[in-house]
Amino acid sequence: MTAIIPKFQLSEKTHTGTIALKVANLEKQTEFYTSIIGLNVLSKDQQKSILGANDDKTPLLILKEIDNPLPLTRKTGLYHVAFHLPTRKDLGNALIKYITNKAPIIGASDHGYSEALYLTDPEGNGIEVYHDKPRDVWDIRADGEIRGITIEMDAEGVIGAADQKWQGFPSGTIVGHVHLTVADLDKTQDFYTDVLGLSLKMDFGRQAKFFATGGYHHHIGSNIWNGRNIPGMEENDLGLDYYTFFVPDETEIARIEEHLRVIGYVFDKDAAGNLWLMDPNKIKIQIKVEKV
* CA angle, 42 then 83 then 34, to 5°: 40
Residues 11-22 have a mean pLDDT of: 97
pLDDT, one tens digit per residue, over 182-233 is: 999 999 999 999 999 999 999 998 899 999 999 999 999 999 998 888 999 9
What is the average pLDDT across 23-39?
Answer: 98
- pLDDT band for position 119 (cuts 50, 70, 90): very high
Q: Is 147 exposed, middle or buried (0-12, 13-18, 19+ CB in 10 A)?
A: middle
Q: Binning pLDDT at 50, 70 and 90, where does residue 6 land? A: low
The rounded percent of the chain whose pLDDT value lies above 70 is 98
Average pLDDT in the chain: 95
Three-state SS letters, the chain: CCCCCCCCCCCCCCEEEEEEEEECCHHHHHHHHHHHHCCEEEEECCCEEEEECCCCCCCCEEEEECCCCCCCCCCCEEEEEEEECCCHHHHHHHHHHHHHCCCCEEEEEECCCEEEEEEECCCCCEEEEEEECCHHHCEECCCCCEECCCEECCHHHHHHCCCCCCCCCCCCCEEEEEEEECCCHHHHHHHHHHHCCCEEEEECCCCEEEEECCCCCCCEEEECCCCCCCCCCCCCCCEEEEEEEEECCHHHHHHHHHHHHHHCCCCEECCCCCEEEECCCCCEEEEEECCC
pLDDT in tens, 132-189: 999 999 999 999 999 999 999 999 999 999 999 999 999 999 999 999 999 999 999 9
**pTM of the predicted model as reported, rounded to 2 decimal places:** 0.96
pLDDT above 70 for 85: yes
Looking at residue 292, its pLDDT comes to 73
- Asked if the model's pLDDT at residue 73 lies above 90, the reply is no
Residue 289 confidence (pLDDT) above 90: yes
pLDDT of residue 3: 43
pLDDT above 80 for 255: yes
Give the mean model confidence (pLDDT) for residues 2-26. 87
Instruction: Judge whether residue 106 has pLDDT over 80.
Output: yes
Q: Which fold has domain 15-289?
A: 2,3-Dihydroxybiphenyl 1,2-Dioxygenase; domain 1 (3.10.180)
At 2 the pLDDT is: 44
Q: What is the dihedral of CA 137, 142, 146, 152, to 10 degrees?
A: -50
At residue 254, the pLDDT reads 98
pLDDT at 224: 96
Are 245 and 251 a contacting pair, CB within 8 Å?
A: no
Residue 4 has pLDDT above 80, yes or no: no
What pLDDT digit, counting tens, does each position of 37-72 carry? 999 999 999 999 999 999 999 999 999 999 989 888
CA distances from 292 to 70, 86, 246, 267 (A): 37, 17, 11, 26
> What amino acid is encoded at 245 in this protein?
F
Note the pLDDT of residue 103: 97
Domain boundaries, the chain: 15-289
